[in-house]
Amino acid sequence: MTNKEKFKNYMLAGHGRCFSLLEHHQEEYRDLILYGCLHDIAFDLQCEDTRSLFIYNLILQYEDYSYFLNPAIQKFLSEEVNTDWHLMHHLTDLLGLFAYDYHEKSAEQALKDKYNQMYEIIMTRRHSLYVHELLQNFEILCTCLLLNSDFDQALQIFQDIGAYFIKKRHVPDEDLHFRFESFWFWTKEKYPVRPLYRQIRKSAGTSGELRRFQRVMYIPEKKYKPGKRRFKPRNQEIQPNPETERISALEILKNHYDEDALAMLISYYQPEDKNILLESLNQVIIDRGDFLGWHHITIEILNQAEKNSAFPDEALFWIYENSQCAYCRHDAVKIMKNRHILTDSIIEECRFDAFEETRKLTEKIF
């Protein structure tokens, strides 16, 4: 594997080692970082969040960040992003960092231009699958602008959304509320609910848009009433014999590598299995498209390592080096910390990891 291939793998994984590798090879890896800038590289967006902060910090290692920012703005303003939920998250977060952390005016203007572009579409086109998907991405953009604006700007967003609600007056309020549920969650995180209600009401005046927004978004939460238990308890499943399963896994792995057999061996691991376990781990193929293959192996390792102190440390180091899932890497680092096997170099790398919880975990060590 070439140095560029190694760097790309680390970058796709959100690995903090990228920063030390970049220190003396900025020109060599410039195009790879541009790739990370223009693509959503998170392994699991809902679990890990975007890698935008990670990419943003890599970009700031360069004096001329326009090489990355200008193509990002161009792509963000293209129609391609309108219905790509993952890419919209990534680029909105990335430009938001440039606009509100670095105070880059071109990024801030791009966010506003995209808002106007998408708002015009949802207000002028008939509802369709395209508009439905675009609306989901519009909510992402509204949330970014809300969290980085003052109350007057927030009121304008409320008013725009209220105008959309008026346009969709034939749609039940509960459905309209659901379309902006995430936006409303972050609104309540930023502004206390009752003062916000009073302020919107005060600002509404003759604005039908703000009154409509208030009416839709302030739907009281329905109290959940559990129903009666109507199902019968399941029959007790037959539990496998651990030793039989372990021996079966060993016999398979002695002849050839097999993912299922490796997962079984991990589940029923005994200390004498260490060599064949580590040999088999070196044969695991890390393919980001194969969510159930190597990822299943890492989860089995983490489950065993957490409850079995005799489980090899080397397996945790293997996850740290190879996992494309930042969440799994965090769990491996957490167990390594509890076992007191974290090295100084790993601690330093974790300070730049894409996953916030990993950075927090190692910050406490210093």
Residue 131 lies in a domain: no
pLDDT tens track for 81-132: 999 999 999 999 999 999 999 999 999 999 999 999 999 999 999 889 999 9
Regarding predicted confidence, which is higher, 365 or 148? 148
**Structural domain count, the chain:** 3
pLDDT tens track for 52-81: 999 999 999 999 999 999 999 999 999 999
Distances (CA, A) of 290 to 6, 285, 294, 316, 358: 19, 9, 7, 20, 24
pLDDT at 207: 81
pLDDT at 48: 85
pLDDT at 223: 45
Supply the mean pLDDT for the chain: 91
- Residues 251, 293 share a domain: yes
- Residues 96, 168 share a domain: no
- Residues 350, 267 share a domain: yes
- Residues 262, 195 share a domain: no
- Residues 247, 217 share a domain: no
- Residues 255, 192 share a domain: no
**Minimal CA–CA distance to 111: which of 159, 62, 67, 148?**
148
Residue 226 lies in a domain: no
Residue 248 lies in a domain: yes
Residue where one domain finishes, among candidates 93, 117, 141:
117
pLDDT at 236: 55
Residue 132 lies in a domain: no
Residue 256 lies in a domain: yes
Residue where one domain finishes, among candidates 191, 221, 251:
221
* CA angle (186 as vertex; 181, 190 as ends), nearest 5: 145
- Residues 315, 259 share a domain: yes
SS3 45: helix
pLDDT at 71: 97
- Residues 255, 160 share a domain: no
SS3 238: coil
- Residues 176, 287 share a domain: no
pLDDT tens track for 225-253: 444 544 455 555 567 788 999 999 999 99
pLDDT at 297: 94
What's the first-to-final CA gap in the chain, in angstroms?
34
Residue 57 lies in a domain: yes
- Residues 266, 215 share a domain: no
- Residues 346, 256 share a domain: yes
pLDDT at 224 over 50: no
Domain range for 200:
149-221
- Residues 108, 2 share a domain: yes
pLDDT at 29 over 90: yes
Residue where one domain finishes, among candidates 117, 137, 172:
117
pLDDT at 222: 52
Burial of 332 (0-12, 13-18, 19+ CB in 10 A): buried
pLDDT at 237: 59
pLDDT tens track for 249-272: 999 999 999 999 999 999 999 999
Residue 136 lies in a domain: no
Q: How far apart are CA 109 and CA 265, in angstroms?
A: 55
Residue 192 lies in a domain: yes
